[in-house]
Amino acid sequence: MDAKTTVDLNNYELYINRELSQLEFNRRVLEQAKDNSNPLLERLKFLCIASSNLDEFFEIRVAGLNHQVVYRSETAGPDGMSPIEQLKQISQAAHELVSEQYRVLNEDLTPLLAKEDIHFLRRTEWNTKQSSWAKRFFNRELMPVLSPIGLDPSHPFPRILNKSLNFLVSLEGKDAFGRDSAIAIVQAPRALPRIINVPETYGNGPHEFVFLSSLIHAHVDDIFPGMQVTGCYQFRVTRDSDLFVDDEEVEDLLRALEGELHQRRFGDAVRLEIADDCPVEMISLLQHEFDLTDEAIYLCKGPVNLARLMAVPDMVARADLKFPVFTPARPRRLTMTPNMFDAIRRGDILLHHPFQSFLPVIEFLRQAASDPGVLVIKQTLYRTGPDSPVAKALIDAARSGKEVTVVVELQARFDERENIELAAKLQEAGAHVVYGVVGHKTHAKMILVVRREGRQLRRYIHLGTGNYHPSTARLYTDYGLFTCDKAFGADVQKIFHQITAPGRAGKLKKLLQSPFTLHKTMVDLVEREAAIARAGRPARIIAKMNSLTEVRVIQALYEASRAGVKIDLIVRGLCALRPGIEEVSENISVRSIVGRFLEHTRIFCFHNDGQQEVYLSSADWMDRNFFNRVETCFIVEEKRLRDRIIKQGLNNYLTDNMRAWQLRSDGTYIRTKPGSSRPRDAQQMLLEQLSD
């Protein structure tokens, strides 16, 4: 290749639209529901995850594009697509996804579940005993809490909560007051379960279920006595759920968010899901009420909220239809040396979740809370939950007289209310609680413990790629590092000071930090590999992350590819880079791993002329992570740990031929297959190697 060939790296054709890339990821998740190598109830879970992902996509991404259209923002991304163009293509792709979701449920999963004696009973299938039970259940549990509303001059259209289950009912006749209400709305309270297990005494087995919607449909006449019900159609509205806090005007972030959380339930409508048998005139009524275009209407051949089926696997005791249970392992040193401080002083400890246990992180906090030598505990919390063992350990530490400072990120999307509750509990216990930096979400994962040991104070730290959440630590792949390295400790302390107190950013020795040094350093490291390649020496980059969208980094990768650097990217979700373009990205491959666990590790490996450097980070290569968040990225210095990360966290995934999807230059993905090679499932291999 002629190195002097000029290429315009701002050309729109070199970038994939981020919204369409996100829908492609959801397509890969849905494929897991179709994959018969997954246990049947796990396939049902994947279907629910795909549905839930699509909900959030509409609540945040589509809502944001709608705002741009309303306010006539013509700002295009690197792909050059206008907001209107994006919405048009999103509608086409999303309608295809929704149609396929219901096909998978109705034609694939439901018949297979029935063969395993797991049944979703339609109301037309109920026998006499089941009908009798349903009638009693409706009268006892549902009728007292339902509030039907007829639409007439004194009863305007009710406010519909975001993603709530509702029924549009058509009626004939006059009521007791002589009113002739042709239309009524029935709202199902959120406290009611959306799927109910029929008692075994009334069914043909322990795993027969009815939907709440079926119970309401079957007894809708009882809700409107004396009237003739001519139709009943379930529907659900998805609303704009992004919280807006004016960073320049806000004086009290907590109070501002509390106000916004209430409004989230009634944001602008962005999508209407409705039963596919609903008459056109009824759909038009709702469409007009919610001010939606035709593209925002989605007809559903089943429950309007598939995510509610996530409750079913927990209600079915069939281990043979689920992933095998595993026990996360503990590093041998922690087994031999239960005292966390003694173990960390002997050398850095790397944890790879969920294959290795998250319990050492909790034990670290518990021991710090009870150790008389510990003076200070500082921690960042993005998602953890107010009742988690992490929160309890911090509360115990504060109550025992430790100096506890917790940075609670209130603007952790969809966890805001839980984080507000957590902050209140910590403050009641005596902990110092701060809410990060206005305008910059605190997304870094850090714990700092200062301990008096004889005549000196020693800092012990934990740095991670994932949240301090015990539940997600069993579902997400993440790394965590324990160390008492002096330079690391000093850097972490400086970052905490930056977050909690005014002052200029101090220079860090080993950690990279957003929004200050991380972006520039990543670009510099990519450019260093390019310079090595131009000098005729081997150059290689392997990077694993959740999303890759930041233009300057992508351009640096393109330039490195043009220089001859071999680049392997493992990007789970969004990827705006197009691989395999002649004279631009011929040396770049991009793969996505979608399996049992959500891939969440961020690993950046640079060959560096044979002196390999490996970094772990809380940040993806996205604009928001580089410029609008407080993030950390740390080099792994011990060779044994560095080699382990390269082997298990990178090379292992590059050879996966069971759960890997290869990105093509047109933005679509093709699933890899073993062919004549030995099947390799990266996550399964790590389970076998690392878990007990």
The pLDDT assigned to 250 comes to 42
- How far, in Å, CA of 108 to CA of 43, rounded? 10
- With vertex at residue 62, the alpha carbon angle to CA 569 and CA 307, rounded to the nearest 5 degrees, is 80
The owner of tokens 């006595």 is: 225
Residue 589 is part of which domain span?
Answer: 514-690
CA atoms in the 13 A half-sphere facing the CB of 537: 11
How far apart are alpha carbons 138 and 144 in whole angstroms? 9
Q: Is position 350 within any domain?
A: yes
Query: Do 175 and 271 belong to one domain?
Result: yes
Q: Do 251 and 355 lie in a common domain?
A: no
Fill in the amino acid letter for 247: D
* pLDDT on residue 150: 87
Cα–Cα dist 328/335, whole Å: 13
Residues 487 and 548 in one domain: no
Q: Are residues 370 and 480 in the same domain?
A: yes
- Residue 638 burial by Cβ neighbours in a 10 Å radius (0-12, 13-18, 19+): middle
Does 2 reside within a domain? no
Is 267 found in the same domain as 158? yes
Q: What is the pTM of this model?
A: 0.93
* Residue 422 binned pLDDT confidence (cut-offs 50, 70, 90): confident
* pLDDT over 70 (residue 4): no
SS3 580: coil
**CB-neighbour burial class of residue 226 (10 A; exposed 0-12, middle 13-18, buried 19+):** exposed
**Mean of the pLDDT values across residues 52-77?**
88
User: Does 509 reside within a domain?
Assistant: no
| Residue 242 pLDDT | 73
> Are 309 and 343 in a shared domain?
no
Kindly tell me if the per-residue pLDDT of 262 is higher than 60: no
Judge whether residue 615 has pLDDT over 90: yes
| Consecutive H or E run containing 590 | strand 588-593
pLDDT class for 387, splitting at 50, 70, 90?
confident
Confidence of residue 691 (pLDDT cuts 50, 70, 90): confident
CB 105 within 8 A of CB 306: yes
Q: Which two tokens stand for residue 91?
A: 């509608």
Give the least confident one: 197-206, 518-527, 578-587, 621-630. Answer: 197-206
CATH at residue 94: 3.30.1840.10
Check whether residue 475 and residue 537 sit in a common domain. no
Task: For residues 153-157, give the mean pLDDT.
Answer: 71
Which range has the worst mean pLDDT, 145-159, 361-375, 506-520, 541-555?
A: 145-159
Question: How does 56-81 read in b/e, with b if 16+ C-beta sit within 10 Å?
Answer: ebbbebbbebbebeeeeeeeebbbeb
- CB-count burial class (<10 Å; 0-12, 13-18, 19+) for 208: buried
Say which range, 115-124, 252-261, 412-421, has the weakest mean pLDDT.
252-261
What share of the chain has pLDDT > 90, as a percent?
Answer: 80
In this predicted structure, what is the pLDDT of residue 173?
82
Question: How far is Cα 572 from Cα 25, in angstroms, rounded to an integer?
Answer: 8
Whole-number pLDDT of residue 256? 47
For 465-480, the pLDDT digits (tens) are 999 999 999 999 999 9
The pLDDT tens digits for 156-185 are: 888 899 999 999 999 988 765 566 668 999
Number of domains observed in the structure of the chain? 3
Q: Is the dihedral of CA 468, 470, 476, 477 positive or negative?
A: positive
Q: Choose, from 443, 462, 600, 607, the residue flagged as catalytic.
A: 443
| 479 and 346 within one domain | yes
* Cα 518 from chain centre: 23
The answer to whether the CB of 298 falls within 8 A of the CB of 54 is no
Across the range 559-567, mean pLDDT stands at: 98
Question: What pLDDT was estimated at residue 6?
Answer: 87
Helix (H) / strand (E) element for 479: namely strand 476-483
User: Cα(632)–Cα(629) distance, rounded to whole angstroms?
Assistant: 10
Same domain, 608 and 477: no
Helix (H) or strand (E) holding 115, with range, is helix 110-115
One domain, residues 528 and 625? yes
* Kind plus residue range of the DSSP H or E element containing 34: helix 18-34
Structural domain includes residue 5: no
DSSP code for 123: G
Q: Which two tokens stand for residue 205?
A: 């087995």
Question: Is residue 10 included in any domain, yes or no?
Answer: no
On average, the pLDDT of the chain sits at: 92
Arithmetic mean of pLDDT, 136-159: 87
d(CA 578, CA 580): 7
Q: pLDDT digits over 325-337, tens only?
A: 999 999 999 999 9
Query: What pLDDT was estimated at residue 267?
Result: 76
Cα 488 off chain centre by: 29
Amino acid sitting at position 177: F
Q: Are 321 and 39 in contact (CB under 8 A)?
A: yes
The more confident residue out of 158 and 436 is: 158
Domain boundary among 437, 470, 500: 500
Q: Which amino acid is at 310?
A: M
For residue 235, give the nearest of 269, 207, 258, 259 by alpha carbon: 269
- Supply the pLDDT for residue 49: 97
We report the CATH number of the domain holding residue 614 as 3.30.870.10
Choose the final residue of a domain: 500, 528, 555. 500
| Residue 483 pLDDT greater than 90, yes or no | yes
pLDDT, position 639: 96
Helix (H) or strand (E) holding 378: strand 374-381
Higher pLDDT, 588 or 72: 588
Tell me the average pLDDT across 388-409. Answer: 94
Residue 61 lies in a domain: yes
Are the beta carbons of 48 and 309 closer than 8 angstroms? yes
Q: Round to whole Å and give the CA distance between 309 and 32.
A: 16
Do 79 and 196 lie in a common domain?
yes
> What pLDDT is attached to residue 411?
63
On the question of pLDDT at 509 being above 90, the answer is: yes
Strands 149-150 and 183-187 turn out to be antiparallel
Alpha helical stretches, state H, 400-485: 416-429
In residues, how long is the chain?
692
Domain finish residue from 297, 321, 345: 321
| 353 is annotated as an active-site residue | no
Residue 353 · residue 466 · CB < 8 Å: yes
Instruction: Give 502's pLDDT tier (boundaries 50, 70, 90).
Output: confident
Mean pLDDT of 152-157: 72
| C-beta of residue 573 within 8 angstroms of C-beta of residue 20 | no
* Cα–Cα distance list, 585 to 15, 551, 592 (Å): 11, 14, 17
The reported pLDDT for the residue numbered 154 is 59
Read off φ and ψ for residue 262, nearest 5 degrees. -65, -40
Shared domain for 611 and 550, answered yes or no, is yes
Model confidence pLDDT, tens digit, residues 222-252: 999 988 999 999 999 999 987 544 444 444 5
Buried b / exposed e over 556-580, threshold 16 CB at 10 Å, is bbbbbbbbbbbbbbbbbbbbbbbbb
Say if residues 560 and 567 touch (Cβ distance below 8 Å).
yes
Residue 3 maps to a domain? no
SS3 label, residue 244: coil
Comparing CA positions, the residue from 589, 575, 560, 572 lying closest to residue 622 is 575
- pLDDT at residue 119 is higher than 60: yes
* Residue 255: predicted pLDDT: 53
Contact 307, 276 (CB under 8 A): no
Structural domain includes residue 96? yes
Q: Quick one: pLDDT band at residue 76, thresholds 50, 70, 90?
A: confident
Structure confidence at residue 174 (pLDDT): 74
